Amino acid sequence: MILTGGCACGAVRFQADGDLHRAGICHCMTCRKVSGSAFNAFVVYPRSAVRIGGETTAFHSSETGRRHFCPRCGAHVFALYDGEEEIELHVGSFDEPNRFRPTYEAHVGRREDWLPALEGLPQFDGNREEGGQAG
Ligand SMILES: [Zn+2]
Ligand SMILES: [Zn+2]
Terminus-to-terminus CA distance in the chain, angstroms?
29
The model's pLDDT over 69-97, given as tens digits with 9 standing for 90+, comes to 999 999 999 999 999 999 999 999 999 99
Q: Sheet harboring 57-60: ordered strands across?
A: 57-60, 65-69, 76-81, 86-90, 40-46, 22-26, 105-106
pLDDT of residue 131: 38
Number of domains in the chain: 1
Task: Compute CA 10 distance to the chain's CA centroid, rounded to the nearest angstrom.
Answer: 18
CA of residue 39 to ligand 2 center, whole Å: 8
pLDDT of residue 128: 84
Q: Are 35 and 55 within 8 A, CB to CB?
A: no
The reply to whether 20 falls in a domain is yes
pLDDT of residue 74: 97
- CATH number, domain of 65, equals 3.90.1590.10
Lowest mean pLDDT among 13-27, 81-95, 121-135: 121-135
Lowest mean pLDDT among 72-81, 97-106, 119-128: 119-128
Local confidence band at 135 (pLDDT 50, 70, 90 cut-offs):
low
Ligand number with the minimum distance to the CA of 9: 1
- 39/11 Cα distance (integer angstroms): 24
> Strands 105-106, 22-26: parallel, antiparallel or unpaired by DSSP?
parallel
The reply to whether 127 falls in a domain is no
CA of residue 71 to ligand 1 center, whole Å: 7
The reply to whether 11 falls in a domain is yes
CA of residue 68 to ligand 1 center, whole Å: 11
Q: What values do phi and psi take at 8, rounded to 5? A: -70, -35
Closest CA to 135 of 7, 48, 33: 33
Domain range for residue 24? 2-110
CA of residue 67 to ligand 1 center, whole Å: 14
